[in-house]
Structure 1
């Protein structure tokens, strides 16, 4: 039996814990901000693995009790954070007051993962601004147009790959995401690194194998991302990594080899490697080149590869899934694509693919329904001596320095106030007339403001190239293994379905028939 002294001590400790919890979890109530009642902070869904925390943010957004709230207080464990709901407030944070919210709250261990900590996504200001300025020239329309022939080569490889599955008019069932990921892996390897990865013909090649491992959802990976995004001060202590040692070794070897080859040949391909070689040359001339700088350069290639192949392949997959359930929409899109191919005698120019109206509408709607990164995060970090940000006129509350602000892109994109029948796939939302009626800051699949996704246009172009080369002579239908609805992976770091996405591909040679007429 417990002694009286031990029992008293235990009771005192429990009392202190109770008082601490009441105080910590009373923060938002004391500040008169609408809040979600905490159990284990508001991270119970993550701890119990009943949902992704990032998807939980969408549930916070759409909670009926918060329907009129401009912002909602939550607790990440015991750490207060804000989920923004009001579009004008979101615009203020992401755009108007960007100077106070330049940094994300995320970080990873710079010692165990220098490629993760030094890339454009994670790095903080002022290095972020310097890197973004130097890398931006890759992402101009002129550069895209110069890369486009390389992209169409991979599109032709995709056509040949699909044709190898079946003879004319035959149908075949296949897992779509793997095909799309192999295609975008080959695309990124070519246009960014000048490497022929051949993932479509060899899905077990090193590029595809490393990419597959990088995005395989595991509980350990989910913990890394959770701590990295929401408890960045613990990133070094807990050795949080974005890129595994195996991936880092692979990419360092690849980038060092390609850069050395490019330096020796003096050849140019208007790709990422050209920019990295140029930055290295500038550093060497200034006597500033060292191993750390080489890691900074390689880090940009790492995030370009990982984000580039995964986001575009997911966009293609979700688009194919929705169109497989709507043959009427698919028929309209295929007619537009095949007519464009016929008009240009089997090719499709850069200008044409960017100006196919219905293709643009379809892709935009897929990004509305399935924003690939379902949330945005920003850290309140005004300059020293600068007035902190406050929530007036919505609430009489001033943000403390270091507070995390979150925006549920998924929540906004599926809000019936802005998007009637939000779960219905309807490309007409994005026709020329309807786009004029969209409320500002209710559609931002690639973020918004100065820190939006730098690669959004190249990602869209990749997906469009893949889709036109699929639909040129194929259409897709559902099959017995096609899910009736998307169930998202609770361990995923981005929007992804829980199991394989199987569709039926039918080879009907529409372009060839139309070309003969």
Structure 2
């Protein structure tokens, strides 16, 4: 009898859970909005559970679903939680710019206790804290400060040339490499020196600590994929499931590294106009006003800003560089045109490019912008709706008679927008001419979001773009890239990835094809 009662209770509980899920899965239907029919229990996440696609990329698949091709929004469910995919450019502008004060928080969250480095950094921090922190960090990212960092980046560019030369000497000038790895070594060393004043030496030693930690953080295992999925799409569960965006190992590494660098900077009084200077200044502010609350009294707050600067700084640039190499290897004539522009600038500059000169390279900018269109590193943007006291809630009129509810998750499928034939002719074709000076005026602004838009856009976009361009300049100065037997024929992204990563890597042949003669300052 007891067993029968227990079985009855279990069945009753399962039925109740099922009914609860099914009730939640009628939310968009009840609200009268277009939606993609969910799978029972798991909602619109079947492809993710089957490891066919990452949820970020799956958002773009849903964006392209022919059932909603003429809709301004589409309702979805992350398990049982309703969310909105925004498709219309004007509504995207509303979320990112016009009504930003209602969408200032990301939907994603981190656990304040289990992951303080994740919780306290600029990417995830919420409400008024975000605005305060952004204001304090903005001085690091002005064009003037970025220009001051340029000479430090150039040193790492020279290190990249030396590393490629050494690889070539072992194999008669031609060698196969995994492009993402060599680019990540460059961007890791660059970020370490411009942000922290540290020589990471990843190019010299690929297993150096900085590179090793970055590699681990963005190696997407199934457990790591689960962490990212929960953080971005089921944020209320991060504490319950002990989700960590930054692992304990990475947090320990950043605490020890940044603690040491800040202590040395305070001891010597050295000023480098970098991120560490800002963090030291914040700690001094806190010490000068001991009776007033201050973020910098929390050491993890300081480490958190360094952590997100490092991870975002090396991953975005290295991905963009490696995808550029992949596309240019497939399009040798375009590669030749880019190398010609770079080479002529090097001849003019006697072997180096000034900050102003590299920024003026028109075709290089066109190539990078087109790579960011085809391969936006973060394939989606996320926001959460909040009301404003004393004001009516925002609606989707004139598109739909729907009023946003507090906490509504909103997703902008960047990859989908960047590949929508409504905005881009032959979107799967690599074509830098889309971004020529005469064609730029035809681009629908909200359909191009490599760094987001509005107040919450990427604070480090200037540094990321400059780092990417400089890396490509030093790489193409003496080398060409070609496809090899191991080069993937068609791009396939890692379904476990939170950011875009080529599944299996990007293997390319690098050829020592020196065009610029440093001694003669002429083209061969």
If the TM-score is normalised by the length of the shorter chain, which range does it land in?
Answer: over 0.9
Q: Name the residue aligned to 2:481.
A: 476
Q: Identify the match of residue 409 of structure 1 among 395, 410, 414.
A: 414
Give the 4+ runs in structure 1 shifted more than 3 A: 1-22, 288-292
TM-score by length of 2: 0.95
Q: Name the residue aligned to 1:116.
A: 118
Q: For residues 68 and 343 of structure 1, what CA distance do their matches in structure 2 show?
A: 51
Contact 2:225 2:497 in 1 (8 A): yes
Q: Name the SS for the 2:503 alignment partner.
A: coil
Change (3 A) 1:7 1:485: same
Q: Identify the match of residue 160 of structure 1 among 162, 170, 180.
A: 162
Q: Name the residue aligned to 1:102.
A: 104
Matched, 1:320 2:325: yes
Q: For residues 284 and 291 of structure 1, what CA distance do their matches in structure 2 show?
A: 9
Q: Name the residue aligned to 1:351.
A: 356
Q: For residues 98 and 12 of structure 2, what CA distance do their matches in structure 1 show?
A: 49
Contact 1:94 1:101 in 2 (8 A): yes
Q: For residues 450 and 119 of structure 1, what CA distance do their matches in structure 2 show?
A: 16
Q: Identify the match of residue 452 of structure 1 among 457, 461, 477.
A: 457
Matched, 1:370 2:375: yes
Q: Identify the match of residue 236 of structure 1 among 232, 236, 239.
A: 239
**CA drift at 1:387:** 1.7
Q: Identify the match of residue 76 of structure 1 among 75, 78, 89.
A: 78
Q: Identify the match of residue 131 of structure 1 among 114, 119, 133.
A: 133
**CA drift at 1:512:** 1.1
Deviates more, 1:464-473 or 1:380-389: 380-389
Which runs of structure 2 are paired with 1:8-27 in the superposition (5 Å)? Answer: 16=16, 19-27=19-27
**Structure 1: 5+ residue runs without aligned partners?**
none
Q: Name the residue aligned to 2:508.
A: 503
Change (3 A) 1:504 1:282: same
Q: Identify the match of residue 205 of structure 1 among 184, 205, 208.
A: 208
Change (3 A) 1:28 1:267: same
Q: Name the SS for the 2:502 alignment partner.
A: coil
Q: For residues 106 and 521 of structure 2, what CA distance do their matches in structure 1 show?
A: 51
Deviates more, 1:355-364 or 1:24-33: 24-33
Q: For residues 296 and 89 of structure 2, what CA distance do their matches in structure 1 show?
A: 44
Q: Name the residue aligned to 2:225.
A: 222
Deviates more, 1:71-80 or 1:230-239: 230-239
**CA drift at 1:8:** 8.2
Q: For residues 430 and 344 of structure 1, what CA distance do their matches in structure 2 show?
A: 25
**CA drift at 1:235:** 1.3
Q: For residues 6 and 315 of structure 1, what CA distance do their matches in structure 2 show?
A: 56
Q: Deviations over 1:310-367 (max 9, x none)?
A: 1100000000000000000000000000000010100100001111000000000000
Q: Deviations over 1:89-138 (max 9, x none)?
A: 10011100000000001111111211110000000021100000010001
Matched, 1:282 2:285: yes
TM-score by length of 1: 0.96
Contact 1:413 1:419 in 2 (8 A): yes
Matched, 1:418 2:418: no
Q: Name the residue aligned to 2:269.
A: 266
Q: Identify the match of residue 253 of structure 2 among 250, 254, 268.
A: 250
Q: Name the SS for the 1:246 alignment partner.
A: helix
Deviates more, 1:330-339 or 1:23-32: 23-32
Contact 2:106 2:124 in 1 (8 A): yes
Q: Name the SS for the 2:521 alignment partner.
A: helix
Q: Name the SS for the 1:399 alignment partner.
A: coil
Contact 2:313 2:460 in 1 (8 A): yes
Q: For residues 295 and 6 of structure 2, what CA distance do their matches in structure 1 show?
A: 60
Change (3 A) 1:177 1:15: closer
Matched, 1:53 2:59: no
Matched, 1:360 2:362: no
Q: Name the residue aligned to 2:176.
A: 173
Change (3 A) 1:292 1:277: closer
**CA drift at 1:290:** 8.3
**CA drift at 1:479:** 0.2
Q: Name the SS for the 1:82 alignment partner.
A: strand
Change (3 A) 1:8 1:295: closer
Deviates more, 1:413-422 or 1:163-172: 163-172
Q: Name the SS for the 1:506 alignment partner.
A: strand
Q: For residues 6 and 151 of structure 1, what CA distance do their matches in structure 2 show?
A: 67
Q: For residues 112 and 408 of structure 1, what CA distance do their matches in structure 2 show?
A: 29
Q: Identify the match of residue 146 of structure 2 among 144, 147, 170.
A: 144
Contact 2:283 2:296 in 1 (8 A): no
Q: Name the residue aligned to 2:190.
A: 187
Q: Deviations over 1:177-197 (max 9, x none)?
A: 110000000001100000011
RMSD: 2.0
Contact 1:169 1:508 in 2 (8 A): no
Q: Identify the match of residue 383 of structure 1 among 377, 383, 388.
A: 388
Which runs of structure 2 are paired with 1:294-309 in the superposition (5 Å)? Answer: 294-309=299-314
**CA drift at 1:74:** 0.4
Contact 2:296 2:302 in 1 (8 A): no
**Structure 2: 5+ residue runs without aligned partners?**
none
Q: For residues 103 and 344 of structure 1, what CA distance do their matches in structure 2 show?
A: 45
Count of matched residue positions in the alignment of Structure 1 and Structure 2: 517
